[in-house]
């Protein structure tokens, strides 16, 4: 079968990483897959083995997701957005997918509703309408108004055949963060968590015995990084390595001006292997970061991202904080002292194991999608 996955990441790169992992799982099962990406290119995410269609990219204006910008910082006006939509619809007609997956929409990316609706309507009206699925992570940004949940439910009811929820329902169900009606509940399919294959130890032992500090692939985490630089000045017996995402060069220059022994470098694609031998991880609490930490068992201090009224990472942190080897520090309480104290607690405890969590969600997603497609045919 042919599968088209449509994703736009706006701040970090987690949505794209998850979509690419899902695409690889479809490919491994023998299917032809294309990922249509509407966010900015993310060089730290390997996509060389994935058929990727790059739409004219957009990004959010910081944590303001109601304003889209072009890569050069100009506002993405109607002409620019129409160019994206045209490319996407042309590809839909040329590719003719058997399965269409929209990542996050309609539970999020409401600012791109016109683009997604045009895609969905065109798919439904095509000669061979594809199976249409939404793909969502374990925890969503709760709707600020009931009307937003109602609109999403109406779109799911009218245009979608199902919703893939990438979570272990024994840990987190969708209703933790989103209102789930009876009609919506009937379309939910829990897949387990989506994670790449388990990493192997780093062949060059990069990161071995170090404290690795990360904040995802976007331009966030400045307070976290600055605090880690100051903590490294106190904890001089330990190597601190900060992996900076987003526009790394100027951020590294600013952090370097603070002085101290911390190693500063851009985010790198071998982070998962580095975590296998690291002494500890200090990070935010995005979905993909959580999967990396659960897989590797690395002792972890989590500082959930909560700017702009974001609550997703806080809710995920509350779940993970109940497990061994995790410590959670609120961003408002983060200081060199609180960070060092949390690190002392997690590194003194027995190393965490992955346990019985369902981390094979990519393979299970493929099984569910293909089964639904075959039943529909």
The domains of the chain, with CATH numbers, are 2-195+360-376 (3.40.50.2000), 211-348 (3.40.50.2000)
Cβ atoms of residues 200 and 259 within 8 Å: no
Query: Closest Cα to residue 315, out of 180, 176, 178?
Result: 176
What average pLDDT does range 146-155 have in this prediction?
A: 94
Q: Is the pLDDT of residue 66 over 90?
A: no
- pLDDT at position 355: 53
Six-digit token string for 101: 């997956």
- For the chain, helix, strand, coil in percent to 5 are 40, 20, 40
R_g of the chain, CA atoms, integer Å: 21
Pairing of strands 240-244, 263-266: parallel
pLDDT band at residue 4 under the 50/70/90 scheme: very high
- pLDDT at position 93: 96
Q: What is the DSSP letter of 169?
A: T
Q: What does the pLDDT look like over 336-345, one tens digit per residue?
A: 999 999 999 9
What average pLDDT does range 217-239 have in this prediction?
A: 94
Q: Is the pLDDT of residue 6 over 90?
A: yes
* Residue percentage of the chain with pLDDT more than 90: 81
When the pLDDT of each residue in the chain is averaged and rounded to a whole number, the result is 94
Taking the model in full, what pTM does it have?
A: 0.85
Residue 256, C-beta contacts closer than 8 angstroms, at least 6 positions apart: 264
pLDDT band at residue 353 under the 50/70/90 scheme: confident
pLDDT band at residue 44 under the 50/70/90 scheme: confident
Q: Which residue has the higher pLDDT, 360 or 302?
A: 302
Gap between the Cα atoms of 351 and 348, Å rounded? 9
Q: Where are the beta strands (DSSP E) in 191-298?
A: 211-214, 240-244, 263-266, 280-283
Q: What does the pLDDT look like over 276-285, one tens digit per residue?
A: 999 999 999 9
Q: What does the pLDDT look like over 273-325, one tens digit per residue?
A: 999 999 999 999 999 999 999 999 999 999 999 887 788 999 999 988 988 89
């Amino acid at each position: 079968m042919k599968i088209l996955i449509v994703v736009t990441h706006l701040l970090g790169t987690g949505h794209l990483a998850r979509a690419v992992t899902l695409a690889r799982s479809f490919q491994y099962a023998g299917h032809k897959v294309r990922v249509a990406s509407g966010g900015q290119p993310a060089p730290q995410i390997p996509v060389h083995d994935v058929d990727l269609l790059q739409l004219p990219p957009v990004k959010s204006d910081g944590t303001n997701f109601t304003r889209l910008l072009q890569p050069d910082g100009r506002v993405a006006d109607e002409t620019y957005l129409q160019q994206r939509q045209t490319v996407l619809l042309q590809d839909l007609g040329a590719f003719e997918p058997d399965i269409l997956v929209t990542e996050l929409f309609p539970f999020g990316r409401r600012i791109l509703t016109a683009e997604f609706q045009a895609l969905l309507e065109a798919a439904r009206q095509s000669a061979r309408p594809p199976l249409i699925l939404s793909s969502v992570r374990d925890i969503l940004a709760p709707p600020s108004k009931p009307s937003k949940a109602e609109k999403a439910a109406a779109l799911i009811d009218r245009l979608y055949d199902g919703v893939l929820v990438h979570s272990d329902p024994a840990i987190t169900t969708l209703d933790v963060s989103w209102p789930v009606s009876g009609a919506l509940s009937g379309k939910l399919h829990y897949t387990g968590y989506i994670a790449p294959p388990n990493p192997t130890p780093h062949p060059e032992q990069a990161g071995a015995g170090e404290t690795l500090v990360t904040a995802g692939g976007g331009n966030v985490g400045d307070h976290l990084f600055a605090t880690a630089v100051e903590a490294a000045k106190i904890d001089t017996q330990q190597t601190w390595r900060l992996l900076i995402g987003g526009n790394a060069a100027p951020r590294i220059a600013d952090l370097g001006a603070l002085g101290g022994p911390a190693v500063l470098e851009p985010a790198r694609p071998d982070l998962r292997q580095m975590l296998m031998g690291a002494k500890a991880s200090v990070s935010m609490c995005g979905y993909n970061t959580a999967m990396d930490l659960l897989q590797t068992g690395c002792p972890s201090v989590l500082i959930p991202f909560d700017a702009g009224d974001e609550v997703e990472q806080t809710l995920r942190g509350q779940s993970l904080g109940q497990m061994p080897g995790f410590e959670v520090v609120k961003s408002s309480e983060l200081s060199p002292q609180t960070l060092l104290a949390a690190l002392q607690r997690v590194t003194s405890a027995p190393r965490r194991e992955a346990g019985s969590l369902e981390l094979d969600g990519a393979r299970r997603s493929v099984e569910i999608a293909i089964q639904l497609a075959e039943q529909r045919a």
